[in-house]
Amino acid sequence: MPLMPGNSCRACGTADEDRKAENPLCDNDCMSVIFLSGPIGAGKTAVAQELLPLLSAPLAYVEGDTFWSFIKKEGERGLRDNFPVLVRSMTAAAVPLARSGFRVLIDFSIPPTYVSTARKILKEVPFDFVVLRPSLQVCAERASSREKGAITEYARLKDFYDRFEEGNIEPICDDHSDPGSLARRIAEGLNQGLFRVV
CATH number of the domain at 174, please.
3.40.50.300
Question: Rg for the chain (alpha carbons), in Å?
Answer: 17
3 falls within a domain:
no
76 falls within a domain:
yes
pLDDT at residue 31, rounded to an integer: 87
Number of separate domains in the chain:
1
pLDDT at residue 3, rounded to an integer: 34
What is each CA distance from 19 to 5, 95, 169, in whole angstroms? 12, 22, 29
pLDDT at residue 27, rounded to an integer: 41
pLDDT at residue 29, rounded to an integer: 53
Whether residue 23 contacts residue 56, with contact meaning beta carbons closer than 8 Å, is answered with: yes
User: Which has the closest alpha carbon to 128: 172, 180, 190, 173?
Assistant: 190
pLDDT at residue 78, rounded to an integer: 82
Looking at the DSSP bridge assignments, the partners of residue 61 are 105
pLDDT at residue 198, rounded to an integer: 87
17 falls within a domain:
no
pLDDT at residue 63, rounded to an integer: 96
For the chain, which residues score pLDDT lower than 50?
1-28
164 falls within a domain:
yes
Residue range(s) defining the domain that contains residue 127: 29-197
14 falls within a domain:
no
Helix, strand, coil shares of the chain, percent, nearest 5, are: 45, 15, 40
pTM confidence score: 0.83
78 falls within a domain:
yes
6 falls within a domain:
no
The DSSP code for 52 is G
Whether residue 141 contacts residue 133, with contact meaning beta carbons closer than 8 Å, is answered with: no
5 falls within a domain:
no
